[in-house]
Amino acid sequence: MSLGCTFDILGPQIMSDYELVLIFSPKTLEAADKTVAALAKVVTGAKGKVNKQESWGERALSYPIKKYTEGLYYFIDMSLEPGELSRFERKVKMDESIIRYLLVKKA
């Protein structure tokens, strides 16, 4: 017998805290700022929150990545629903100016 409606057994999603470090090619300073702003907009659009956003500047890489020896580093501390994480990570992967990223869940 069906009641005609569905119930979410888990209830509302609980926000999880994440840290994201992005490395951009050193030639894309303006594009990097725009990309970081766009990613922050994606987080807030998914009912998340950007807690902290920092530019760490240009630093030497330990080893060449895509023939670059230096990169522009950005740090984002955010809260996001776990269900929205895959959509957010897809946006990061699609951006060609990002040469490397690391996304970790805070304990």
pTM for this model (two decimals): 0.83
User: 53-106: per-residue pLDDT in tens?
Assistant: 999 999 999 999 999 999 999 999 999 998 899 999 999 999 999 999 999 999
DSSP 10-49: T-SPPPEEEEEEEEE-TT-HHHHHHHHHHHHHHHHHTT-E
Q: Which CATH superfamily is domain 16-105 in?
A: Ribosomal protein S6/Translation elongation factor EF1B (3.30.70.60)
Name the nearest CA neighbour of 26 among 64, 82, 53, 54.
64
User: 1-60: per-residue pLDDT in tens?
Assistant: 444 433 344 556 688 999 999 999 998 888 999 999 999 999 999 989 999 999 999 999
Domain ranges of the chain: 16-105
